[in-house]
Each structure stands twice: as structure tokens, then as C-alpha cells.
Amino acid sequence: MKENKCPGNKKNHFIFSVFLLNCCQNDVILPCACTVSIGRTKSWVRQMLEHRHSDRDCSSSIGPVTYCPGCCQDGYCLTIWLRTAQSIDLMKLKNHKNHHTDLYQDNICVLRRSQTFQMWITLSRPFNRHTDKLHLHLKTGPIPEVGKRTHVIVPLVEELKGNCWEAAVVKENDKRIKLSVNSPGTAVIGRYRLTVETTCPNGLAIYTCNPSDDIYMLFNPWSKDDSVFLDDEEERQEYVLNDVGRIYNGRVNQIGARTWNYGQFDSGILATCLYILEKSKTLCSGWGDPVNVVRIVSAMVNSNDDAGVLVGKWSGDYTGGTCPTFWNGSVEILQQYYASKGSPVKYGQCWVFGGVTTTVLRCLGIPTRTVTNFNSAHDTDVSLTIDVYVDENMDTITNKNQDSIWNFHVWNDCWMARPDLPPGNGGWQAVDATPQETSNGIYCCGPAPLTAIRNGQVYLKYDCPFVFAEVNSDRILWQRNADGTYSKIFTEKKVVGCNISTKAVGSDERNDITHMYKYAEGSEEERVAVETACSYGSKPDTYESPTAKDVTMKVVMEGEGPKLGSDAELIVKFINHSCENRNVSLNILKILALTYDKYKDLLVDQGALMLTLLGRVKETQQVLATQFGFLLRTPDLIIKPIGKPVVGQKMTVEISFINPLPEELKDVVLNVEGIGLLPVQKITYGDIRSNGRVTITKDFTPTLAGAKKFVASLHCSQLTQVHGVADIYVEA
């Protein structure tokens, strides 16, 4: 028995508070033996309880806290006089199915805002609608505040209206009542702690729910009141609920693809996504706005500035981390980040940043797709051009060439309304987590409306000039003059923003969405869009109409291109369009050959090579310039399932591979995984001789029914970018 001074007005009266030694027991009783102010008592008791409860890490409910406004017989408050909540049933199975959250594998309550959910509350006595009152308290963030919508007091109403916080009793069964609860389409997303406050004529009681009954609130693409509403069920299934996708890579003339496990429903991933938001140190009161959330995620997926998820690296040396081509999905990356308490994971490149971003945003409920732009410009000075500088002898000036064109670049599109912009700018928004340039001092990019990018409205938020340049820039060749100035000697158009690709809805086919980013080349709409954008660039007079050319130069590669380990052959064709002779060979083919011995030590991760040609036509001084990139094709892993796939029954896959190189592969490692099949596992194989064939078997037991994908990748110092996938349908 602990004696505490009563906050009431009567002297010599005391509150006798019975505290159980274990604060996690079901009942904490605070009887009052005197008449005091209810408001003062409530405040005082709350302070006592919060101080007491903060000293322990409780994993279960602290039970009801009761307050009595009047004196009781024999100086004691009888708790049976009060109507207290005894337990909560959040009806997870039913709510999850209705809210499209039944795929989340954690045993938690995951709901979507702006949609009714239900719960059963068991009381100590039957509920009296005429005399009793009940409120739900939902709190999120470190310092919940009503004014910031992070402390929500849900009132009990007679009839639900919708799109606001409210609750109604829809069924009564003795001491149990069933509530239907609504939330607004602007509710803050995140983890809410639930408290039930009941009031009857005899006093007030507060029941703090078990942390396992916390409510995880997400965005809702199924609700018209949510700004991420997407009015197409097939697209919602793809862009929110599909946990496996395709990411495109390669070059514009050699488009490749790889399977990526997003795994947004895997155990612990939702907690990790919310941890990422928390680690951003942004106010959780702003987490109800998807524009704000995707901007936070864009910054936090890279480690620049804020110790985010992934360290980017492009040097080819990945000592102390994982080669970017070795990852098969996002789950392992996010699990490492969470387990290390926020230590950035090494290493990522654009497709890894894009894959992880898709996982995080789909997990939070924002429709998202992974997008690949072939021949993607990186404009560093907002000139909307890619500037290449050469000296008097046509040799490149390395320290001035800051702009570049990547053979491909991966980013994301997210679907949302943009009430902060003029009408017509809602829908798909480009978001890029790869750290390229800063935006308002932070390495992030977007959301940039695709409508604004298409129309050249680069003055709209966020980062439209950079994204516009990625898909529209001209490559301009500047030559240094004798006095140190530079003259523009060549402009190459239509070289960037090609075959912009994403996975098709409902299939593994490639969907070309270039038309959503730019008008058709040469159209009047395209001319106006480019002129509009250039007028806001750092070099507004750069855009010019095309000029006639006597001679054109074209590089040709036959078929799908050479295989890694084989010699590479390219054909350079010069064509004279004039009626006069030029100092070039008309329709003569020049064949360039590059042997494996010459290129093997120059390769980067993607097996990519670049041919750069510069020159002039003698008679006219016309400049000829072009760059032609190509990939050396790597072999695939061949994966063959063995046995009948059934949940809970062991099965096997065979993974076959042939070494294509004229040298031995050293220290070969495989990375295998499959959502619903097996978690990420590494298989150390060893060495594989030149042209040697190996077969590796892997046993596993499927855990989920339905269409699944077994994904594998191979890595060693001599060979990367080797992948394979097998479709497996698992019976229940």
C-alpha cells in the first residue's frame, strides 16, 4: 500500500493507490477516498502513471486506470462501480481483408486510412448508451499533439458520416460492444498507440492497450478521399500489392531485364519503412501528405546527408560490401539496415535505389513503379544540355566534362494528387533516390509531375528541370579556341530519353511509357515544350532548329551484340547526302574489332563499352561526332524446379551455369531467394574452369501458396550481371 497526498481541496484526506509490483498486470487501481476535482485528479493520476510506467519496458497492457469523483463507503472506491474496458479485439482477419492488408506477414493490425474498420471492446459492465461515454485515443510519434493530428480523440457518435475520425456502436453483446471506426483521408500514417477512455456516472477509466494491438495506418489507393487514390483495380494490384517486379537495364539497342523481389509484405519490412521515416528526423505530423513522404523516402534511401539505407558506389571496387549486381531484391537490404540500427548498407546503384524505393512506398500504400530511362542525361548545370568539351585537336578535356549520359538510369513513378500545384499536375510523379544532385540542399529528387515534364513546365515543384534534362537534352560539342573561349561546333539531338520502360500491368512484358514523358520527336508539341523548358534553363539561347548535314555517320551492331568472352565487332557507316564528293568513303563499311584480351580489364559491372568518334568533313569543315555504347552479353542461370510445389513440403531446384570466359572463374558465390519459397541465402561454390558447366541443387520448403518466383544471381571477380529466374506455382 502506497500513500499519496490527495490533490483535492479537503485537508487530511489521502488517495490510497494500490500498485501491483509488476506494472504489466491487468489492473492498476487508483481509488480516491475523498471528494476532489475530477480534472485535477485525472491530471495528477496520469502524471503518476506515466512516471511509473516509463521506468519499465512493458510488452503487455497496463490495464484500466480508474478515477472516482466522490467519496466511497468506508473510505474506499469500489472498482465495480465503474465501467472499464477489459480487453480489445481488433478483428485483424476481417479488417485486413477489407483493407487489402492481409498480405502483411507480421501479426499486427495494418489498416488503410479513410476506410471503416471494426473492433470489439469487452467492458466490466454492459454499456449504457444513455449514461456512459466512450472515447478512443490514438497517439503517434514521440510527442503526440491534438493540434498536429498526432493525438486523435475519436468521439462516439450515433451515425457515421465518413472521412473524419469517428466511432459508432454497431452491435452489443452483454459486456461486449462492437465499434465501427472511420478515419479521414488526410490522417497521418504510422504506428498509433490505442487507449480506451470510458466515463460513467461513477467516474472515468482509461485502458491502455497492449502494444501488440497498436494500429499501423497506411495510405489508401482504394479511397477517393485519399490523395493517392488510383481508380483502376488492375493497376492497384500491380503498383501496390505486387511484391515481385521487373527492372530493365542494358542499352537502348540491347534492352535487358531482371526480376526484383520487392517483398514489401515480408516480416519486419513495414516496421523498417516506418523506422526510415523516423530516422529522417522529420515531423511525423507531415506524414499524412504523400508529396512529403516520397520526398523523405527519396532522401533516406541513399546514405548521403542522413545515414540513409544505401551507400552508392560506381568504382568497381566493392570491398567491405556487396556488389550492386548481386542483390536480387530489397528485403535483405532493409533487414540489414534495421538490424544494424540504421547503419547504411553497402553498396547500391540506380536499380538498387529504385527497387528499394518501390518496396518502401508500396509498403506504405503509395502506388509506385520502377522506371528505366535509356540514354539518360545527367545535366549538372541546369542548362538542359549535355556539354562535351574538346581542345583544338578534338581531344576531350576531361576536367570540364561534368555532364554525362548514362546508358540507362532507374528511378520511380509514384501516383498521387498534387493540390500544391496548378490543376492537371496530379497522377504519376517522378521520384529518384539515386544521389546525383541536391534539391534544396539534400540529395533527393521529386516528386516531379510527368505532365509538367512533358510540357516543359520546369518551373513547377519538385526538380522538374533535372528530370526534363534526363529525357530531353541535346548533346553539344564545344571546341576550345586559341584565345581560350569555346565555340559550339556540333549538336546531336534525339540521343537521350529513349524507350522509357516499366513492367506492364499484370504481366512480365515491358511497357514503353516514353510518350508520358515527352511528345513525339519532331512534333510541334515537342518543339514548344523544349523551347519552354530552355527559356528557364541556365543557357536559354541554346535551343536551335536543326541544320542541314552533308554527311552522316552511323554505328551498326549486328544481332543482339557480342557475348562476354568473345571478340566484339562494330560497323561504322558514313553516308554522303550531297551531290558532291566529300573526303569520306561513300557507302564503304569500316569494321572495328576488339578482342577479349584488350577489353577484359576495362569492363565495368554491366559489361558495357563505349565507342566515341569525332572528326570533320574536309571540304565543308562539318563536324562528325557520335558515341555508341553496347553491352557484352552475359550468360543466364538456368533454374529448373524438381518435384511438386506444395506449401510445407520440401522441394528442389537445379541451377545450371556455363562459364563463357577463356579463363577460370575464382571464388564463385550464388545468391538465391524467393518470396514465399525461401529467405535470402548465399551458396559458396568455389572455382569454375573455362567453359566449364556446373549444376547446383537447392532444397527448400515453400511457405506461401500461389504464383512465386525463385531468383538467383552469380558473382565473382571476373564476372557479374549473371541472373536467373524460375516461375513456381505452389499449391496450398
Q: What is the predicted pLDDT for the residue at 600?
A: 60
Q: Catalytic one among 432, 445, 716, 723?
A: 432
- Detail the DSSP E strand segments found in 393-473: 404-416, 427-432, 445-449
Sign of CA dihedral 153, 159, 164, 170: positive
Q: What is the CA radius of gyration of the chain?
A: 32
**CA-based nearest residue to 338, from 300, 295, 294:** 300
Distances (CA, A) of 65 to 34, 41, 43, 135, 330: 17, 12, 12, 14, 44
Q: What is the predicted pLDDT for the residue at 542?
A: 54
Q: What kind and span of H or E run contains 295?
A: helix 290-300
Sign of CA dihedral 460, 463, 467, 472: positive
Compute the distance between CA of residue 216 and CA of residue 113 in angstroms, rounded to an integer.
10
Sign of CA dihedral 556, 558, 561, 566: negative
Label residues 681-717 b or e (16+ Cβ within 10 Å = b): eeeebeebeeeeebebebebebbeeeebbbbbbbbbe
Q: Catalytic one among 378, 409, 715, 723?
A: 409
pTM confidence score: 0.85
Annotated binding site: 472, 474, 521, 526
How does DSSP assign 239-284, residue by residue?
A: III--EEEEEEEETTEEEEEEEE--TTSTTHHHHHHHHHHHTT--G
Quick check: 222 and 100 in contact, CB under 8 A? yes
The per-residue pLDDT for range 290-325, each reduced to its tens digit, is: 999 999 999 999 999 899 999 999 988 899 999 999
Q: SS3 of 524, please?
A: helix
Q: Which residues pair with 665 in a beta bridge?
A: 688
**Could you give all domains of the chain from N- to C-terminal order, each with its CATH number?**
233-534 (3.90.260.10), 551-631 (2.60.40.10), 638-730 (2.60.40.10)
Q: What is the predicted pLDDT for the residue at 491?
A: 83
Q: For residue 441, count CB atoms less than 10 angstroms from its CB and return exposed for 0-12, middle for 13-18, buried for 19 or more.
A: exposed
Helix H segments across 61-215?
Answer: 92-98
Q: Catalytic one among 77, 273, 350, 363?
A: 350
Compute the distance between CA of residue 297 and CA of residue 356 in angstroms, rounded to an integer.
10
How is residue 726 annotated by DSSP?
Answer: E
Quick check: 721 and 605 in contact, CB under 8 A? yes
In SS3 terms, 701-717 reads as CCCCCEEEEEEEEEECC
How does DSSP assign 69-80, residue by residue?
A: SS--GGG---GG
Q: For residue 171, count CB atoms less than 10 angstroms from its CB and return exposed for 0-12, middle for 13-18, buried for 19 or more.
A: exposed
Amino acid identity of 280? S
Establish whether 68 is a catalytic residue: no
Q: Which residues of the chain have pLDDT under 50?
A: 1-46, 48-79, 543, 545-547, 585-591
How is residue 579 annotated by DSSP?
Answer: S
C-alpha angle 532/533/535, rounded to 5°? 70
Annotated binding site for Ca(2+): 472, 474, 521, 526
Q: What is the predicted pLDDT for the residue at 624?
A: 77
Quick check: 52 and 65 in contact, CB under 8 A? no
Residue indicated by cell numbers 525463385: 710
Sign of CA dihedral 452, 458, 459, 462: positive
Establish whether 432 is a catalytic residue: yes
**CA-based nearest residue to 298, from 467, 523, 89:** 467
Q: What is the predicted pLDDT for the residue at 201?
A: 79
Establish whether 409 is a catalytic residue: yes
Quick check: 364 and 358 in contact, CB under 8 A? no
Neighbouring CB atoms inside 10 A of 16's CB total: 17
Q: What is the predicted pLDDT for the residue at 328?
A: 97
Residue indicated by cell numbers 530493365: 248
Q: What kind and span of H or E run contains 44?
A: helix 38-53
